Amino acid sequence: MNSIVCIKQVPDTTEIRIDPVTNTLIREGVESIINPFDLYAIEEAVRIKEKFGGKVTALSMGPPQVEKALRDAVALGVDEIILLSDRKFAGADSWATSHTLSEAIKKIGEYDLIFFGQQAIDGDTGQVGPGVSAFLELPQVCFVKEIVEISENSVTVKRLMEEGFDVIQAPLPTVLSVVKDLNTPRLPSLRGKRLAKNTQLTVWNADDLGLDEKEIGLNGSPTQVVKIFSPKLDKEVEKLEGLTSEEAAERIYHRLKELGK
C-alpha cells in the first residue's frame, strides 16, 4: 500500500503577529513548520505503511527551504521526499498548485492513497486536495475522520459532517483530505531525526514535470487577491463598579436581556 502525502510549509502560528500599521504578517524571525493539519495525514499514511507495508512519499512545492519540512516528515516515518522547486512556480494559487502537484504525482506513478491535511493554516482554502483529485480524475473524500477499512482495491472512511458522519467507500487510488479527529500524530524520535538527515531529497523543476510556463506559478493562477486587511474588532466594554455580587448579577441580567432584543 503506497501513499503520497502532500504537505505545506507554513509559519508557526504560535509566533504570528500582525503589523498594526501595514496589516501584514510579521514574518521576520518566525519559525517555519509543517502545516499542523498535514501532520495527521502523515501519521495516517505511516500507520498504514506499518500495518500493510509499502512506502510513504511526501511531496511539497515551494522554495528550497521547504527541504526542512520534508526532512521533518522523514523523522515522522516518511520514506521518500520530493520537492517541487522552481522560480516559475512562484505566486501559484490553489488552481496552479493543484495542477503542478498532480503532474508530480503522475510522475511518481505508484500510489494507492493520496493524503492532504484539511487545509493549510496560512491560506486556509482547503482547495488543493480536491483540486488534485480533479486534475487526476480520481475520487476524493474530504473531512476524513477515520479510516474504517482498507482492502486491496478500496478504502472505507468516515467523513465528518455537521451532525455526525457519513461512511463512504471509495475505489483505490483515491484522494483523502483529513481532519484532526483522525489520530494523534507522533513526535519524531532521534532515530527518525538521524534518518531525516541522511535521506536523499529529490528536487523537480518545471522542466522535469514537462509543464508550460503559462500553466504554472502566477501565470497559471486565475485567482486575484484584491485586498488583505485585518477585520475591525467591534466591541464595547461596559464596566460595572462599586456593586455587590448580587447587584452586579442583577444588572448584567437586565443588560443582557436588553441587548438580546
CA-angle at 37, arms to 35 and 39, nearest 5°: 80
121 touching other proteins, by CB under 8 A: no
Name residues contacting other proteins, limited to 57-86 (CB under 8 A): 75
C-alpha–C-alpha distance, residues 144 and 37, integer Å: 12
Give me the least distance between CB of 10 and other proteins, in Å please.
11
Give me the least distance between CB of 81 and other proteins, in Å please.
17
Helical (H) or strand (E) element with 147: strand 140-150
Task: Answer yes or no: are the C-beta atoms of 7 and 42 closer than 8 Å.
Answer: yes
Q: Which stretch binds other proteins (CB under 8 A): 52-60, 147-155, 185-193, 250-258?
A: 185-193
Task: Answer yes or no: are the C-beta atoms of 62 and 189 closer than 8 Å.
Answer: no
Going residue by residue from 101 to 120, which x/- string records binding to other proteins, judged by CB under 8 A? --------------------
**Cβ contacts of 5 within 8 Å, gap of 6 or more:** 38, 41, 42, 45, 56, 57, 58, 59, 73, 78, 114, 115, 116
Q: Name the pairing type of β-strands 17-18 and 25-26.
A: antiparallel
Q: Which stretch binds other proteins (CB under 8 A): 54-62, 88-96, 131-139, 181-189?
A: 181-189
Rg of the chain over Cα atoms, rounded to whole angstroms, equals 22
CA-based end-to-end distance of the chain: 59
184 touching other proteins, by CB under 8 A: yes
Give me the least distance between CB of 28 and other proteins, in Å please.
10
Q: Which is nearer to other proteins, 107 or 251 (CB)?
A: 251
24 touching other proteins, by CB under 8 A: no
47 touching other proteins, by CB under 8 A: no
Q: Which is nearer to other proteins, 20 or 109 (CB)?
A: 20
Task: Answer yes or no: are the C-beta atoms of 141 and 168 closer than 8 Å.
Answer: yes
160 touching other proteins, by CB under 8 A: no
17 touching other proteins, by CB under 8 A: yes
Report the interface residues with other proteins, using CB under 8 A. 12, 14-15, 17, 20, 29, 31, 33, 36, 75, 184-194, 197, 245
